[in-house]
Every structure is written in C-alpha cells, then in structure tokens.
Structure 1
Amino acid sequence: MAKATKKQALGRGLSALLKDPENDIQSVGDKNADQVIGNVVELDIESIEVNPFQPRSNFNDEALEELASSIRELGIIQPITVRKLDFNKFQLVSGERRFRASKLVGLETIPAYIRIANDQESLEMALVENIQRQDLDPIEIALSYQRLIDEIQITQEKLSDRVGKKRSTITNYLRLLKLHPIIQTGMRDGFISMGHGRALINIEKKKEQIAIYEKVVSDGLSVRDTEQLVKSLKNPQGDSGEKKPKSSKETPGFVSKGMDELKEYLSTKVDITSSQTGKGKIVIPFHSQEEFQRIKKLLTGE
C-alpha cells in the first residue's frame, strides 16, 4: 500500500509540474522533460481531448458500464497514453475506453503516459497500439491496417514488421474490405466470423455475396459449410456428370498440401502442375519489382 501511495504522489507531483507555466514542456529537450515524458502522470480529465485518429468507432454501452464499474472498485489499472498539444492540453493516443469509462464514473483525474508526437506519429501510435491491445473487430483491424498503408505511406512488408504480424495475416484482413458493406456490417455486429468473410471474398459478384451471406445467417452455417457452399456456386457442374479436370484427381496429396503451405508462406498465388509420377513444375507470379524482391528474399534468405 505504501508503494502505491508513493507512486500516486509522484504522479500528482508531475501533474503540478505540467501546470506550471514556467515549466511548459514542448519537446524532449526542454528542462524537466525527462521527468514527464514516458512517465505516468495524473492528468485532469478535462485537459484531455479525444483523438480524431482513433480507429475504434464502436463503443458498446454495456461493456463501458462494466469497465466503469471495475474502475469504480479498483481504479485505473493500465494508464492511458496521451500526447502533449499545448500548455496543460493533451490528446488521447490510446485508451479511449478507459477514458470514457472514467468520465462515466465521474473521475476528475486519470493516470496517463505522456508522449510528444506530431499528427502522423500520433496516428501511427494510435493505430498500432489499438491493433495490438484493443479488442477490435476484424473490419476495424482491416481499416486500421489500410489507414496505416495509405496515410503513413507504409508497405505491407514494413507494416508486418511494425505490428508484429505475418504479411499473410495482414493481407487476409485487408481482403475483408472487398466484401459488400452489408457483409462488413454483419461481421462487425457479430453475425458472421472472419472465417465466413474470408470464404465470401471468393465470390466476385456482390449480389451473390449477399445471397450467400443471408443464407449463412438464416441457416446458421458454419465456416466449413460456407466454404462448401461457395465452392459449389463457383463450380455448378461439379455434380452434373461432366468430366472434371484430370489435374484435380491426379494431383498427388503431397503436392496439394505443399501448394497450400507455399501460398501461406509466400502470401501469393502459386500454380503447380504435376503428374501421378510426382513430376511437375511450380509457377509463382509477381506483379511488381517490390513483390519479386519480397518473394526472392523469402526463397533465398538474401
């Protein structure tokens, strides 16, 4: 208990430092900046504004009330993160749920990590920290990835390093944005999962996407059932008695399995032709110099 009291007192002391006009810290090189930047400080809630770059757009009222109840009993366990805008004026970088719940409880101050960053850095921090720490739905994550790519001018390869996710994972999320808006909304509302969405992406016509989506929801189809439904729609002659391509029957099991593993590892389409004797060839298409270099690096390690 003594340690907690000391920590709180320290935070309040730093808060007083920030309210002193003679110690207005604007950069990491200013006097006393090392005492504030990166440390936990008790800030007046009224001195904090919401971050316009916040990727989360849905805040469940019931979940907020539950969080508020927890804060009322236990206090803020994890500080929010803010950036300094002006004298005694701050903007949220991450932790908007905690911020909103604290206001519901009626708290006057809130513990916060303070950072100094420009708008671009703030956007990047907000998106990356929320992707990693918050329970965003798949579409919100996809939109966050897309905003990082568009507004920070970052490639999928670099984004993979930045957020600590495989490039194939990022690609799978971004592909969800190709779904019809109604289906995206259904995913955000929990009517279907990301697995359902990934299956529906394989249907190019939006009207057919919607038709299958409605069947998935009304019949409560599993992801596997949805995949089979999509497959049957794309190959309607499958049960008509017409001869199927020999390759689908003659492709050895090790080739089929290996093709899926290659697609996952390379995050791109892989074409494989083979005979029952095990002979064949692999074709890996690329669409730009950057993509060629990426594939080459994965294959050669150089």
Structure 2
Amino acid sequence: MAKAVKKQALGRGLSALLKDPSNDISSVNDKNADKVIGNIVELELGDIEMNPFQPRTSFNEESLRELASSIKELGVIQPITVRKLGFNSYQLVSGERRFRASKSIGLKTIPAYIRIANDQESLEMALVENIQRQDLDPIEIALSYQRLIDEIQLTQEQMSERVGKKRSTIANYLRLLKLDPIIQTGMRDGFISMGHGRAIINIEDQSVQLDIYEKILSNKLSVRDTEALVKSYNATDSIELPKKTKETSDLPKYIKKGIKEFSEYFGHKIDVKVSSNGKGKITIPFHSEEDFNRIKKLVERDQ
C-alpha cells in the first residue's frame, strides 16, 4: 500500500513539473524529458483530448459502468497512454474505456504514460494496441488491420510481426470486409459468429449473402449448417436448408423448447442428444478463439 502511495505522489510531482512553462517538454532531448517519458504521471482529464485515430467506434455501456464501479473502488490500476501535443496538452493513444469510465464518475485526474509521437506513430500504436484486446468483435479487428494497410502502408507480413498473429489469420479477418454491410453489422452485434461470416464470404453475390444470412437468423443455423448451405448453393444455384436429422425430430417437446432458448442465448444452434433412459448431452459449439471468449463471458456474467 505504501508503495502505491509513493507512486501517486511521484505522479503528482511530475504533473507539477509539466505545468511549469520553463520545463515544457516537446522531444526526448529536452531537459527533464527522462523524468517524464516512460514514467506514470497524474494528468488532469481536462487536459487530454480524444484520439481521432481511435479505431474503436462502439463501447458497451454496461461494461463501462462495471469498469467505472471498479475504478471507484480500486482506482485506475492500469495507466492510460497519451502523447504530448504541446504545453499542458495531451492526446489519448490507448485506454479510452478507462478514460471514459473515469470521467463518468467525476475523477479529475488519471495516471498516464506520456509518449512523444507523430500522427503516424500514434495511429499505429492505437491500432496495434486495439487489435490485442480480447473483447473486440471480428469486424473491428478487420477494420483495424485494413487501416494499418491503408494508412500505415504495412504489408500483411509486417502486420503479422507487429501483432503476433499468423498471416493467414490476418487474411481471414480482412476477407470479412467483403461481406454485405448488413451482415458485418450482424456480426458486430453478435447475431452471427466469425465462422458464419467465413462461410458466407465464399459467395460473391451480396444479395445471395443476405438471403443466407436471413436463413441463418430465422433457422438458428450452426456454422456447419451454413457451410453446407453455401456448398449446396455453389453446386446448384439454389438455397436449400439442411435437412433436419431424425434425432432432432424425435426429441421430447421440453428439449425442443429448451434447444431454442439455449440457441438464442449462446448465439449458436445447440446440439442435444438423449438416450432411451432419459439421460443426455448438450453440446455448445464455438468457431474461433473470439467466439469461445464471447460464450465464456456470457457464462461468467450470469454466475
């Protein structure tokens, strides 16, 4: 506890140094730059502006409230990162959720790491930091990859080195941007998984993509069912739903009703098998690491 208090006091001392016009730091070569760069500094929230390069466009309000409650009890445990724009002026690089949550509960200051970076470096830092998050939807990740290509001129090989992902993984995310915008929105909102999207993308005609998307939603199709539907269309130019198995049609009514509720909750078609003695097994499919983490959060939330 004493160590934490000391760090906060140091942060306040550095904050005072930064407010002294005679100590204005604009480069790593300036006087006292070594005392600030890489250290935790308590900055006033009002001196920090939002990052126009922030790749994240939506924030879960419930999640922000939970974070705000945690900050109210424990403080900001992980400092945000900002870049210095000018005297007593900063721009957010990463940590927007912490920044927003802190403002929402009326905090005046926040612990921060100060970086000195140009616009391109700031954008790259924000995009790479954002991609590393665990709670992003596949489209947000794909858009971040695309911006690294368009605005930083990184190749897929260079991105692979920056973010620690296989080149094939990056390529799979980027392909999702070829989906109809309505389907992309459905993926962002959790109506379908990345696995569904990867199956649909094998069809170039976006009107057909939408027809299949509607069938996925109305019939609670699994990724495997969707893959079969896409394969059937590519072979016959006709969209026909996979036939129901005998096992499903022979299930008791209470299980059929339960399957529908489970499927709506988890966002996938749940598989249930029942033996003659009434015992059975429920299988919850997932189609990627992101999808598994999404399901895990659903379970943790209701514990």
TM-score under structure 2 length normalisation: 0.77
Please tell me the residue identity of whatever aligns with 1:67: L
Q: Give, in angstroms, the shift of residue 134 of structure 1.
A: 5.3
CA distance in 1, matches of 2:81, 2:111: 9
User: Could you tell me which residue of structure 2 aligns to residue 162 of structure 1?
Assistant: 162
CA distance in 1, matches of 2:170, 2:148: 12
Please tell me the residue identity of whatever aligns with 1:233: Y
Q: Give, in angstroms, the shift of residue 182 of structure 1.
A: 0.2
Q: For residues 244-295 of structure 1, what are the alpha-carbon distances to aligned partners after superposition, in whole Å with 9 as ceiling and x for unaligned?
A: xxxxxxxxxxxxxxxxxxxxxxxxxxxxxxxxxxxxxxxxxxxxxxxxxxxx
User: Could you tell me which residue of structure 1 aligns to residue 82 of structure 2?
Assistant: 82
Q: Give, in angstroms, the shift of residue 190 of structure 1.
A: 0.5
CA distance in 1, matches of 2:163, 2:37: 23
SS of equivalent to 1:235: helix
Structure 1 unmatched runs, 5+: 239-302
CA distance in 1, matches of 2:237, 2:9: 74
CA distance in 2, matches of 1:147, 1:83: 20
Q: Give, in angstroms, the shift of residue 38 of structure 1.
A: 1.2
User: Could you tell me which residue of structure 2 aligns to residue 41 of structure 1?
Assistant: 41
RMSD: 1.2
Q: Give, in angstroms, the shift of residue 237 of structure 1.
A: 8.6
Q: Give, in angstroms, the shift of residue 236 of structure 1.
A: 2.0
User: Could you tell me which residue of structure 2 aligns to residue 214 of structure 1?
Assistant: 214
- What are the residue-to-residue correspondences of 1:213-232 with 2, within 5 Å? 213-232=213-232
Q: For residues 23-76 of structure 1, what are the alpha-carbon distances to aligned partners after superposition, in whole Å with 9 as ceiling and x for unaligned?
A: 000000111101101111100000000000000001111111111111111111
CA distance in 2, matches of 1:134, 1:40: 24
User: Could you tell me which residue of structure 1 aligns to residue 61 of structure 2?
Assistant: 61
Structure 2 unmatched runs, 5+: 239-303
Q: For residues 128-174 of structure 1, what are the alpha-carbon distances to aligned partners after superposition, in whole Å with 9 as ceiling and x for unaligned?
A: 01111352211011000000111111111111111111000000000
User: Could you tell me which residue of structure 2 aligns to residue 9 of structure 1?
Assistant: 9
Please tell me the residue identity of whatever aligns with 1:89: S
Please tell me the residue identity of whatever aligns with 2:119: D
CA distance in 2, matches of 1:134, 1:234: 34
SS of equivalent to 1:26: coil
User: Could you tell me which residue of structure 2 aligns to residue 93 of structure 1?
Assistant: 93
SS of equivalent to 1:77: coil
Please tell me the residue identity of whatever aligns with 1:31: K
User: Could you tell me which residue of structure 2 aligns to residue 189 of structure 1?
Assistant: 189
Does the C-alpha gap of structure 1 residues 187 and 33 become closer, same or farther in structure 2, counting only changes over 3 Å? same
CA distance in 2, matches of 1:35, 1:82: 16
CA distance in 1, matches of 2:32, 2:183: 52
Please tell me the residue identity of whatever aligns with 1:44: E
User: Could you tell me which residue of structure 1 aligns to residue 142 of structure 2?
Assistant: 142
User: Could you tell me which residue of structure 2 aligns to residue 282 of structure 1?
Assistant: none
CA distance in 2, matches of 1:136, 1:58: 10
Q: Give, in angstroms, the shift of residue 90 of structure 1.
A: 0.3
- What are the residue-to-residue correspondences of 1:120-131 with 2, within 5 Å? 120-131=120-131
Does the C-alpha gap of structure 1 residues 28 and 134 become closer, same or farther in structure 2, counting only changes over 3 Å? farther
User: Could you tell me which residue of structure 1 aligns to residue 70 of structure 2?
Assistant: 70
Number of matched pairs: 238
